[in-house]
Structure 1
C-alpha cells in the first residue's frame, strides 16, 4: 500500500478514532519476489514488520497533565514489533492493527 492511497483509507475510518497514544496501522504488502526476480514461496515469507500510519490519537498525558505530542502522523511508514497489536478486521478482507505509539520501533525515512 502506497502512502498516496492513504487519503482513501482515512476516509473509511472517520468513525474509528484512536485514543490517547494509540496508532491505527495498515501493514505493508508482503514481499513476493526478490529484486533479482526469485519468487518467494508462501510458507517462507517473514512476518510483515512494516506498515503505514492511518490515524493517530491525540497523544498521552504526562504526570503533570500536559499532553505529550505524537511522534508519528498519518502517512508515515513505520517499523513494527512481531507482537503486541490489537487486530481489527473490517469488511472486504481489510485488516488493520492498533498499536501504542511506544510499541512502534522506528519511523522509516526513505
Structure 2
C-alpha cells in the first residue's frame, strides 16, 4: 500500500483550478494522484487528509471527482474511498466519498 499525504503537496490546499490560484485541486489530482495511479496501476493507495489548514469543497471535488472524469476505474476509486484517512476531521472522508460517487453516477447517466 502506498501512502499519499496531502500535506506533502501543500499545507494550504487551494481552489479548484490552477488558473484561479496556487495549490489547486486540479494540480494535486494531476501531479500527485493521477500520476501515482498511472505509475503504479496495481497499487492500493491510502490518502491521508490530515495536516492541512483545511479544504475548500472545490479542491476536494476536483481532486477526487476529477479522477473519475479522467477515466480512473470505479474499482480504483472504490479502493481510494476505502483507504481515506482523517482523524482530524472524519467528515472529510464522507465528503470525498460523495464527490466520487456523484462523479461515477454522472458518467453512468
Structure that is richer in helix per residue: 2
TM-score tier, shorter chain, comes to under 0.3
Structure that is richer in strand per residue: 1
Instruction: Compare CA radii of gyration and give the structure with the larger one.
Output: 1
**TM-score computed with the length of structure 2 as normaliser:** 0.26
